[in-house]
Amino acid sequence: MLSALGNIFKIPELRDKIIFTLIMFAIFRMGTHIPVPGVDPTAIEQLFANGNLFGLLDLFSGGAFSKFSIFAMSITPYINAAIIMQLLTVVIPTLEQWSKEGQEGHKKTTKVTRYLTVVLAFFQAIGMSIGLKAAILNPNPVNILIIAITLTAGTVFLMWLGEQITAQGVGNGISLIIFAGIVAALPKNIGTIYHYVQAGTISYFSVFMFMVIAVAMIVFVIHVETGFRHIPISYTKRVGGQRAYGGHSSHIPLKVNQAGVIPIIFASSVLMFPVTIAQFIEVPWVKTVASYLQWGTPLQTALYVLLIVFFTYFYTAVTVKISDMAENLKKYGGFIPGIRPGQPTADYLDHVLTRITLAGSIFLAFIAVLPNMIAAATHIEGVYFGGTALLIVVGVALQTMKQIESMVVMRHYEGFMK
């Protein structure tokens, strides 16, 4: 195994890509410690001490939000812009046409996504600055505008940083930035657990249970994330000139978790909206609604699970084109054994996808409520070992390792993944 891993550094191109990626990580981590001018860090810390809503947001920014640094918004506006563009592709013919134009269409979509990111980041920065104006030393319109521009510039820089990693490093740059932010919180969480043990708040048995649950969940997430339903495909044999084509078998891989982490992001955004609003306004009925939707309450948990199931089906239906799959099979002479080409094939694929999507939605719902289960089982609170973060970390790690593995094997070295 060690010799196989050593093959990575025998390839100059791959070695340079890994070093470049690590340098970008270092720049990202340095940026999380550069504070936004005109903000009182003590007031920000008091807000984070009031609950785990801000702590959850801070996890995905790698601690930049709690420090209110220039990267406080992280890469979230870019992710929102990319999701919006993906959903709009279904309803806007121009975007749908771009999606079929290959590399040129991808460039056009990327350009629009960048502009949309700037707009979303600026409005989010304005809202954040106004909502946290109690922490601003001199909250006049000019200072709020300066802070908003600074936060927007930080997000745009992270977007550029992610694109550089994708182009010159290894893996998907945007995903790796989120990955780095989540992993960077690990030492802080370990320190929190250590202080709990030293203070006698929790026992060593609780720590052991926490470790067992963590390892079990990592194995479970890897197993589901690599799970596929393979639909067998056969191709009719055709003769063109003096050569025969087709006559072979293949399969269509349908992923169990087709939607990834997107349904959890959608569901949490919907449920966090009233709670976030209640943090900054003094309206009795809003406070009442927010109290019922606090993280971990029975109503919040039930709505969370239902919304995740709904958004899993919704996002899968938007992104997976069953009719196109059936049409392409028919066009190239492929068919599912025992199923007629055309609409019967589309109906069969839709039936199979509906069933495995149910399993995927239940998996996502379980992962999403995992922090509540861990806190109840181990009595360890304040440690953000969330299922969403775990899903992102494992997914990004697997994707990056597969890319490195393919580059190693392509150059006739032994791979390191079994």
Spatial distance between the Cα atoms of 238 and 236, rounded to a whole number of angstroms: 6
Beta partners for residue 229, in sequence order:
254
- Beta-carbon-side half-sphere exposure of residue 310 (alpha carbons within 13 Å): 10
Interacting residues of 207 by C-beta distance below 8 A, sequence separation 6+: 193, 197, 378, 380
Q: How much of the chain is helix, strand and coil, in % rounded to 5?
A: 70, 5, 25
What is the β-pairing status of strands 228-235 and 238-240? unpaired
Within 10 Å of residue 404's Cβ, how many Cβ atoms?
A: 20
Of 392, 380, 385, 1, the closest CA to residue 216 belongs to 385
The confidence score (pLDDT) of residue 156 equals 93
Q: What is the pLDDT along the chain (418 residues), one digit of tens a residue?
A: 455 566 677 778 888 888 899 999 899 888 888 888 888 777 776 666 554 455 556 666 666 677 778 888 888 888 888 888 887 887 888 888 887 777 888 888 889 999 999 998 898 888 778 777 777 778 788 888 888 899 999 999 999 998 899 888 888 888 888 888 888 877 777 777 777 778 777 778 878 887 888 788 888 888 888 888 888 888 776 655 556 555 567 788 888 888 877 788 778 777 776 766 666 666 677 677 777 777 777 888 888 889 889 988 988 887 888 888 888 888 877 788 888 888 888 888 888 999 999 998 998 888 888 777 777 766 666 565 566 777 778 888 888 888 887 777 776 555 555 5
Which helix (H) or strand (E) element contains residue 348?
A: helix 343-368
The confidence score (pLDDT) of residue 118 equals 92
